[in-house]
Structure 1
Amino acid sequence: MLNWEIELNKHKRGQKASLFKACFRTFGPRYHCVIRLAIPVALGLLVHYLSEWQLLVEKGLVDKNAPFDWNSYRAYIYYCSAVICVVQCINVYVAHPYFFECYRMGMELRVANTNLIYNKALKLSNSAMRNTTVGTIVNLLSNDVNRFDISLVYAHYLVVGPLQMVVIIGLLWWQIGVSCLAGIAVMVLYIPFQGIMGHLFSKIRISSSILTDDRLRLMNEIIPAMRVIKMYVWEKPFGKLVQMARVREIKAIHKAMVLRSINLSIFFISSKLITFLCLIVFILTDGKLTAQNVFVSLSLINQLRDVMTLFFPYALSLGAESLISLQRIQEFLLSEEYVPNQKQIEANPNAGNGVSEKTKTIDTSVDDIDEESKCKISVQNISAEHTSKDGAVTHILNNISFDVNPGKLTVIIGSVGSGKTAVLMAILKELKIKSGSVSVSGKLGYASQESWIFGGTVKENILFGQKFDERKYTRVVHVAALDEDLKQLPAGDQTVVGDRGVTLSGGQRARVSLARTLYSNPDCYLLDDPLSAVDSAVAKHIFEKCIKGYLSSNCVILVTHQLQFIKAADQIVVLNEGKCIAQGDYTQLLKE
């Protein structure tokens, strides 16, 4: 949506962005409403003229068989009847298209927000993905946006309801005088009560959304691991986890249903209570009940009941839930994005990094830093941190520096959580660095620690849409140690692996992912622990044939826990808690 881009530009300038304003500017001008108050008035006049005409006929003052007079009570009866019929016809031709337009606007608002969420999900940075689970995105797309389908149908009653109530009070005063205030007092007390109900609906909506996110996150973790759960007979413990998550969510939904049932119960008793109070007070104040004031009062009170005890509460509850959904979507849309061409960012220097200026330039662009060399990676004093939703800051990297030249193998080692993958993310610009610079010359290729396999054949996963070269393909399959695996598969490389590669083992998925990276033929390779999912013999084959053989002329950064291979590395970087505690070749590290 163009209007959301305007709000997003405000956010970039330091101003507050509002998804509600963007949606209102897009769909608000098309909103309109219809008030049907002519029917009770026409009905009252019809009863009045019928009563007067019948009284005149009984007294013999009017002849029923007299010629028709356009200025008589008999004519006024026809006029009022015609008004009632015309208003009903207008309601058919106006109200139904109006509600159709409301539903259509709700659908368009849902689709527009779905489009924003989808596009934003494709642009999330690595740090934003740490704070956003797949369950949250699924909940936004499947639950939150669906609130807009119905909420727009009743939203205008937040304004129309009180206005229509004022008009109806005036008409009731005309019919039964001050007695109408007895019933209206009940209705006036109902408005702040609905404000409290709307606040409660908002709180319940927030809590239920969080519980739904947790349940979806749990299911997204359990379903891919179902094979492991079955193998270790963990069905009952995980079943209890799912059951507990559902029970917590159902409790929150049950509270919302209790509040809605209270609203509906008030709706069914309100018209009887208001009519009873109005007529009792009218009789006690020596008022004279007639067919006219009774029928008109009942009709007006029924309309007031529909507006203030049904549509107005619906508007409050659905509006409160929609506002919470808008806030959740807005929070997601304002998450940090991945910027592929981030050239210059000013940041405060870290202590001890050797920079004396007040500010410095962070360069994370891909450029040719050495025209003579085809590929090169230079990492200079990079530091990065992660800020969680609650504001807690975690330092991920601290002053990491190294250079990778063509034909040289750089191995990064360290304990779990020491920052090895974070270095690769910084080179890929998936991790926003706070200070320092990363310069890359040439095309990057990345083999992730968690293999990504799509539903298709093994060959399609390796080619990944590129043109097939038989010689190159055969060599890549060989150096990735996939020869024997393809022979064992029922259809060779034409075997369909299924979604997420469910028919392959963990080691096979890792090697298919590695083969895809090799076939793309980049200049620089970032290999995130490709040897962890394979046995020692296969790991030795991949290291000797692939990393030291096939990639001998490229820039290669290998993250690994297999310390038996670091002897062959040209440069070793040892990390601990985001800091570089040792750097050099194997001989230098032994001396140190």
Structure 2
Amino acid sequence: MDPEPPRTTDALGAATSIPGSTVPQLQNEDSEAVVPTALQVDRKVGYAVPTTGGGRDQPADGSGAWERQKLFEDNRGVPEAIKEYAKVQPHPRMNIISRATFGWLSAMVKLGYTRNAEGSNLEPTDLWEVQTGLQSTNVSARFQTLWEEEKHRPKPSVSRALWRLIRRDCLISVFFEMLKLVGSFVNPMVIREIIVYVQNRETDVNKGIVLIFLLWVGAILVGFGKSHSMHLVMNAGAKVKCAINNAAYDKALLLSNAARQRKTVGEIVNIMSADADKIYQNFFSFNSAWSSPAQLVVALYLLYLQVENATWTGVGSLLLSFVALAFIFIRIARLERLRLKFSDIRVKLMNEMVQGVKIIKFMGWEDPILQAVQGARDAELPYVRGIAYTKAVMVAFVLGTSIFSGFVTFATYISIYPLRGLDPANVFTAVALLNLLRWPLMSVPQFVAAVASSRISLDRFQKLLEEDENVPIEAGDSAGVAAGQPMVAIRGGTFAWDRERTQEEREKIRDDKVAKADKLDKEASAALKGSSVSGAEAAAKKQDEAKTLRKEAEDVMLPWAPTLKGVDLDIKRGEFVIIIGKVGSGKSSLLSAILGEMETITGSVSRWGSLSYVAQTPWIRNETVKHNILFGRQYDADRYKIAVNAACLGPDIAQLPAGSETEIGERGVNLSGGQKARIQLARAIYCASDVYIMDDPLSAVDTHVSARLMEGCLCGVLSNTTRVLVTHQVQYLSRADRVVVMEEGRVADVGTPGEIMTRRDMTALAQHKGKEEEEPVEGGE
């Protein structure tokens, strides 16, 4: 039985299966990296992924050679090494005492101590399996379910979905936080009784023992409650961080083309890193939301019992401090919002720099790029510095407030009750209670600041989740598809790179944007009435935003012309279909429509079985040649050899310093364009899919190599699969079962090679050969 498909990893045009992103790479007995594979190709952009589902029947006529039979007979799922990994060190069974004392950690601590004494370290296999409730796959699946339910509400809230994900942990942590609170108030009151006991020179030893015991119990309650409360809150924070990371990653792969224009890579990376980590860190203040006010109230009440009406002067000084702190929090939130804006710009620049490092070095643009990045960082730093200074002022203010409050309280007490004096029991108890006030005074503002920054991060995350996404194509099971029946079927298909909206939808969006722009103009006018510089700056900013909204409102009303129109096409099982046409005629767009990459305006696309996509621009990992071909699948020597030979990579690999173990540089920098294209093709062959979608892979290789690929690969090893090839090399049309001619986004003609050559002028098509190549052919292919 095949395992459940794991999470996806963005392959950016890779023709391969995609390993699970939540499972680490391990080594099998052959020292090959293995990761779970198998992913249904039902969504995502520009990459293709085979799946273990679908099952392919072998031809009954025996025409498939041994190589083809060997290649397709074992489409493996999760390797046994992965299944055994979780069993290496099962999570220890915890009884109630072990849970209460965290004694279950003792074995790991002891093992670490022993390893350190031996001069070695803990290994990954020493670690325990993550508990089911904390496993990334389970957490993400649960959050996706909750978010889907939330989307059906009138006003969806990602905060509510996340709360439902973690509320059990949070509510249990509240109980332990209450134990901590009880313990924290036991100590001051017991200290008072001990002082009274000593002052009165009591001789009852048992009473003294009981008081000391209660002092010990209070300390135990504080430690016990704090440890378990923090443990549960950290687990809840980890779940939220995991859910945000995986949901943002999955959403990035599903974004529609229009949404990708609105959401930059830098913004998405910031959500997955800075925002998710910030929310996780802010979870440490979760229980401060209620425990700090409660501790503050109880401490003030007990303080009143000690110093009576003098307490209210202390309360008054605290209230004044809260007013001042409110302004500090507002400033922190405003600075944080501005910092994130410039942080997005900086991350975007860094991403562009890394992706284009070759051209930057080639053109000698290091200094301008460095200046651009430095400029973005310089624009961000004032806000970072401002936040740090403001927080430092806040901490100093809070610490000073508690000291000042104590001084005011005792001074007032002496003034109101000059004849009473200060009793030692009251003084020590009051000092202890004033110390208890220090933490609430610090944590309440921290919690408010955490809520403000988390609110901003959650709003950014929710806006990402609410972006439009491509509608996935559900692939059917290929087992029931007989020879001659379609594996890919397009019925009356009209496709565009952006969704075509109705006139009513466009008018509504336009009206909303105009209304927002009008509101901003009014706010700007109001701000200009003041004479302050900050008011003028705010007005200018609002006017710019209004201008942008009005331009967007105009753009919304522009009609989007579909890229593909009226497409009706069947691609039958085992058929070899070649798609030809001039540059810009819609050949690559047709492949994107089959992959589910384009918006379907009318009609439908149906698909059966697993699929691999060979992109026009190869996607190469910074890994060895072998791992670029395996791409997470389990190594099979015979199967690997077949894929390498079919892709004509044997001589190239033999010339490499370490053969298949030679590491390929970033984005294949040490390979020619033809070598990268053939590694991608070998990867697709190794995947053993039902359907192969290939976007002109022959254009990157020499003529004699392309002839060998056509003979040994497309018409050889893959001859029993369904193949769709885009090409300008019309000399290979005779090898196809059918030829599709594209013109101006339409299927202009479909027929056998002989019929197409009779009806069409091949000379015009041949003149366009090679114009769509992404990289020049390099010699020696």
TM norm structure 2: 0.58
Matched, 1:425 2:592: yes
* Separation of aligned partners in 2, 1:4 and 1:29: 18
Question: Partner residue of 2:746?
Answer: 580
Query: Which amino acid in 2 is paired with 1:306?
Result: W
Given candidates 122, 127, 131, the residue that maps to 2:256 is 127
Shift of the alpha carbon at 1:231?
2.8
> Which residues of 2 match residues 390-405 of structure 1 at below 5 A?
397-403=563-569, 405=571
Question: Partner residue of 1:90?
Answer: 217
Given candidates 635, 654, 672, the residue that maps to 1:505 is 672
* Separation of aligned partners in 1, 2:436 and 2:161: 34
Shift of the alpha carbon at 1:240?
1.8
Matched, 1:373 2:543: no
Question: Partner residue of 2:243?
Answer: 116
Matched, 1:174 2:305: yes
The 8 Å contact of residues 487 and 722 in structure 2, kept in 1 or not, is answered as: yes
The 8 Å contact of residues 375 and 554 in structure 1, kept in 2 or not, is answered as: no
Cα gap change, 1:486 to 1:298, in 2 (>3 Å): closer
Shift of the alpha carbon at 1:513?
0.7
Q: CA RMSD in A?
A: 4.4
Shift of the alpha carbon at 1:275?
2.8
Matched, 1:311 2:478: no
* Separation of aligned partners in 2, 1:203 and 1:22: 29
Three-state SS of the structure 2 residue aligned to 1:497 is coil
Three-state SS of the structure 2 residue aligned to 1:570 is strand
The 8 Å contact of residues 43 and 80 in structure 1, kept in 2 or not, is answered as: no
Three-state SS of the structure 2 residue aligned to 1:450 is coil
The 8 Å contact of residues 413 and 572 in structure 1, kept in 2 or not, is answered as: no
Deviations for 1:406-462, whole angstroms, at most 9, x for unmatched residues?
3441125544xx865443233123445343111345653310233223455435544
Identify the range of structure 1 (262-271 vs 3-12) with the bigger mean alpha-carbon deviation: 3-12
Question: Partner residue of 2:232?
Answer: 105
Question: Partner residue of 1:61?
Answer: none
Query: Which amino acid in 2 is paired with 1:259?
Result: T
The 8 Å contact of residues 383 and 396 in structure 1, kept in 2 or not, is answered as: yes
Question: Partner residue of 2:656?
Answer: 489
Cα gap change, 1:80 to 1:296, in 2 (>3 Å): farther
Matched, 1:232 2:363: yes
Shift of the alpha carbon at 1:544?
6.1
Question: Partner residue of 1:221?
Answer: 352
Percent sequence identity over matched residues?
24
Unaligned runs of 5+ in 2: 1-138, 501-508, 510-548, 751-755, 765-781
* Separation of aligned partners in 1, 2:207 and 2:279: 42
Matched, 1:300 2:433: yes
* Separation of aligned partners in 1, 2:413 and 2:609: 90
Cα gap change, 1:515 to 1:92, in 2 (>3 Å): same
Matched, 1:254 2:385: yes
Cα gap change, 1:271 to 1:195, in 2 (>3 Å): closer
Query: Which amino acid in 2 is paired with 1:108?
Result: N
Matched, 1:453 2:624: no
> Which residues of 2 match residues 318-467 of structure 1 at below 5 A?
318-329=450-461, 342=474, 371-373=482-484, 376-380=487-491, 381-384=493-496, 386=498, 397-403=563-569, 405=571, 406-411=575-580, 413-415=582-584, 421-431=588-598, 433-440=600-607, 443-462=610-629, 465=633, 467=636
Identify the range of structure 1 (314-323 vs 465-474) with the bigger mean alpha-carbon deviation: 465-474
Question: Partner residue of 2:134?
Answer: none
Query: Which amino acid in 2 is paired with 1:495?
Result: T
Cα gap change, 1:148 to 1:238, in 2 (>3 Å): same
Matched, 1:8 2:147: yes
Shift of the alpha carbon at 1:510?
1.8
Cα gap change, 1:126 to 1:369, in 2 (>3 Å): farther
Deviations for 1:476-506, whole angstroms, at most 9, x for unmatched residues?
133xxx4653454234445332564343233
* Separation of aligned partners in 1, 2:732 and 2:419: 104
Unaligned runs of 5+ in 1: 54-63, 343-363
* Separation of aligned partners in 2, 1:214 and 1:529: 36
Given candidates 403, 409, 426, the residue that maps to 1:278 is 409
The 8 Å contact of residues 656 and 662 in structure 2, kept in 1 or not, is answered as: yes
The 8 Å contact of residues 578 and 724 in structure 2, kept in 1 or not, is answered as: yes
Shift of the alpha carbon at 1:234?
1.9
Query: Which amino acid in 2 is paired with 1:267?
Result: V
* Separation of aligned partners in 2, 1:23 and 1:544: 53
Shift of the alpha carbon at 1:262?
1.9
* Separation of aligned partners in 1, 2:348 and 2:394: 33
Deviations for 1:520-542, whole angstroms, at most 9, x for unmatched residues?
4545432224356x366478647
The 8 Å contact of residues 188 and 432 in structure 2, kept in 1 or not, is answered as: yes
The 8 Å contact of residues 455 and 500 in structure 1, kept in 2 or not, is answered as: yes
* Separation of aligned partners in 2, 1:587 and 1:100: 82
* Separation of aligned partners in 1, 2:568 and 2:468: 27
Shift of the alpha carbon at 1:264?
0.8
Deviations for 1:20-39, whole angstroms, at most 9, x for unmatched residues?
32244231122132222344
Shift of the alpha carbon at 1:101?
2.5
Find the structure with the greater CA-based Rg. Answer: 1
